[in-house]
Amino acid sequence: MALKAICAKISTPIFSIKHPEVFQIAASLPIPQPSTLTGALAYCIGVHSRMGLKAKDEVERMLVLARAKILNEVAVVTPIMLRRFRVLDKGFETKRKGEIPAYKRACDALSSGDFDYYRRVIEVELTDALYREYVTAATIECVWILREPLDHKLLYLLQRLGDTESLVTVMEAWSADCSVKEVDSLRTEYPMVLDPDALTSIGGDYTVVKMCDEHRILRTFCIPCKKDVLSTPDGVKYFAYVPTSIEAEFKKPVEVFTVDGEDLLGYEGGA
């Protein structure tokens, strides 16, 4: 079966993708996880073909592998204190029987002209704040390996990756051929599943995190990047992800996909 790939170079002024095992985004993944890329492709297909949520089934049928990597020299890690208005959920909650919900109290105060009380309810009672980490000034290359051809131009419909505030711009999209081979050693700049039972050795700087694969199965991934402390010319220090490459040797041959001259590890032998 001949495989095809569609690729995109994506500019991410800000993006934040939570670790799958946490409730809120205290720390962001350095790159989109495979399940995020799967959802992004489903969104593009759904909008392009107007099939809506049925696009998810279409993607599950045709998608083989989805991977991303950082292209630029560094991706800056920026902590943000995010203030949120909780009017539509917290505004209708009550703690005691007979208590008037905050939303109704705010509406009543606004109707009677009590603007000070209205602001106190909206800006104090119905807000909260949380710490989030964003990755900024990053350029990411995404690859989707498919069982059949797909028009790469639909990737230009992509608007965000990850959290709601994660705005992205597709700078370039293209199609590529994909070949399959078996190897007992690999050098790659793309994430790979980390399986000690399949590996003989692994070298290079990398980050080990848990991410969801294309089918939302939680796996341990090895991402070719390191988190480092860098300095500006005037001495200001900041955290950043620095992309790297990793070299791995396996106990037995594993399946590798080659796209645009770069190798991506499949799940056989690495699952």
For the segment 162-208, what is each residue's pLDDT rounded down to a tens digit? 777 778 899 999 999 999 999 999 999 999 999 888 999 999 999 99
pLDDT for the residue numbered 72: 92
Which residue has better confidence, 18 or 243? 243
pLDDT band at 269 (very low <50, low <70, confident <90, very high): very low
Query: Quick check: 9 and 171 in contact, CB under 8 A?
Result: yes
What is the three-state SS of 67-108?
Answer: EEEECCCCEEEEEEEEEEECCCCHHHCCCCCCCCCHHHHHHH
| Euclidean distance between CA atoms 269 and 253, whole angstroms | 7
Single-letter residue type at 71: L
Residues 6+ away with beta carbon under 8 Å from 85 = 122, 126, 127
The residue ranking higher by pLDDT, 28 or 191, is 191
As a whole number, the mean pLDDT across the chain is 90
DSSP state of 125: I
pLDDT tens track for 208-228:
999 999 999 999 999 999 999
Reported for 49-53, long-range contacts at CB under 8 A and 24+ positions apart, including other chains, are none
Span 231-249, mean pLDDT? Answer: 93
Q: How far apart are the C-alpha atoms of 231 and 185, rounded to whole Å?
A: 36
Tell me what pLDDT residue 24 has: 66
Label residue 131 by pLDDT band (50, 70, 90).
confident
User: What is d(CA 25, CA 27) in angstroms, rounded to the nearest whole number?
Assistant: 5
Q: Which residues contact 214 (CB under 8 A, 6 or more apart)?
A: 34, 35, 37, 38, 63, 65, 66
Q: Is the pLDDT score of 250 beyond 50?
A: yes
pLDDT at position 13 is 85
Distance from C-alpha of 73 to C-alpha of 239, rounded to nearest angstrom: 13
Q: What is the pLDDT of residue 11?
A: 94
pTM: 0.84
